Amino acid sequence: MCGAPAQSPNLPAGTDLTKETVIYGVVSAAGAPVPSAYVRLLDGTGEFTAEVVTSATGNFRFFAAPGSWSLSVLHKDGSARGEVTADGPGLFEVSLSLA
Amino acid sequence: MSRADVLVSADWAEENLNSPGVVFVEVDEDTSAYDGGHLAGAVKLDWKTELQDQVRRDFVSKEQFEALLSAKGIGNDDAVILYGGNNNWFASYAYWYFKLYGHENVKLLDGGRKKWELDGRELSKDAVSRPATTYTAKDQDLAIRAFRDEVVAAIGVKNLIDVRSPDEFSGKLLAPAHLPQEQSQRAGHIPTALNVPWSKAANEDGTFRSDKDLLELYTEVGIDDAKDTIAYCRIGERSSHTWFALHELLGFQNVKNYDGSWTEYGSLVGVPIEKDV
Query: Which of A39, A12, A56 has the alpha carbon at shortest distance from A97?
Result: A39
Check CB contact of B214 with chain A, cutoff 8 Å: no
Q: pTM value?
A: 0.93
**Which pLDDT band, with edges at 50, 70 and 90, does A9 fall under?**
confident
Give CA–CA dist A96/A33, Å, rounded.
10
**Interface test with chain A among B167, B169, B234, by most A beta carbons within 10 Å:** B167
Q: What one-character DSSP code corresponds to residue B248? A: I
A27: closest CA of chain B, how far (Å): 15
Contact B232, B160 (CB under 8 A): yes
Residue A47 near chain B (CB below 8 Å): yes
- Any chain A CB within 8 A of the CB of B117? yes
CA dihedral B176, B80, B105, B83 (to 10 degrees): -30
* A7 band by pLDDT with thresholds 50, 70 and 90: low
* Surface-to-core class of residue B148, CB atoms within 10 Å of its CB (0-12 exposed, 13-18 middle, 19+ buried): middle
CA distances, A3 to each of A6, A7, A63 (Å) = 10, 11, 17
pLDDT tens figures, B72-108: 999 999 999 999 998 999 999 999 999 999 999 999 9
Cα-trace Rg, chain B: 18
Alpha-carbon gap: A28 to the closest alpha carbon of chain B (Å): 16
B107 has which bridge partners?
B81
Residues in contact with B32: Cβ distance below 8 Å, sequence separation at least 6, in sequence order: none
Tell me how many residue pairs between chain A and chain B have CB atoms under 8 A apart. 71
Query: CA nearest A73 in B: which residue?
Result: B204
A16 in B contact zone (CB under 8 Å): yes
**Contact between chains at A48 and B86 (C-beta distance less than 8 A):** no
Q: What residues of chain A, 77 to 96, have a C-beta less than 8 Å from chain B?
A: none
Low-confidence ranges of chain B (pLDDT < 70): 1, 182, 184
Identify the structural domains of chain B with CATH numbers, from first to last: 3-140 (3.40.250.10), 143-265 (3.40.250.10)
Average pLDDT over residues A14-39: 93
A16 to chain B, minimum CA–CA distance in Å? Answer: 9
Nearest CA among B88, B91, B83, B45 for reference residue B64: B45
Query: In 3D, which of B244, B165, B42, B50 has the Cα closest to residue A64?
Result: B165
Q: What is the ipTM of this complex?
A: 0.85
Q: Is the dihedral of CA B88, B12, B138, B154 positive or negative?
A: negative
Task: Report chain A residues whose CB lies below 8 A from the CB of B119.
Answer: 76
Least confident of A12-21, A83-92, B205-214: A12-21
Concatenated DSSP letters for A39-77? EEEE-TTS-EEEEEE--TTSEEEEEE-SEEEEEEEEETT
Radius of gyration (C-alpha) of chain A in whole angstroms? 13
Total residues belonging to chain B: 277
Q: Sort out which chain A residues have CB atoms less than 8 A from B85's CB and list them.
A: 53
Asked whether the beta carbons of residue B118 and residue A45 sit closer than 8 angstroms, the reply is no
Share of chain A above pLDDT 90, in %: 79
Q: Give residue-wise pLDDT tens across range B138-176.
A: 999 999 999 999 999 999 999 999 999 999 999 999 988
Q: How far apart, in Å, do the first and last CA atoms of chain A sit?
A: 22
Q: Do the chains contact at A51 and B87, CB–CB below 8 Å?
A: yes
Mean pLDDT of A50-66: 94
CA-wise closest residue to B142 among B108, B107, B101: B101
Residues B112/B89, Cβ–Cβ less than 8 Å: no
Residue B59 is given by DSSP the state B
Structure confidence at residue B236 (pLDDT)? 96
Angle A2-B182-A9 from CA coordinates, rounded to 5°: 35
Residue A12 is which amino acid? P
How remote is the C-alpha of B189 from its chain's centroid?
20
Q: Please give the domain boundaries of chain A with CATH numbers for all domains.
A: 34-97 (2.60.40.10)
Q: Which residues of B are catalytic?
A: 233
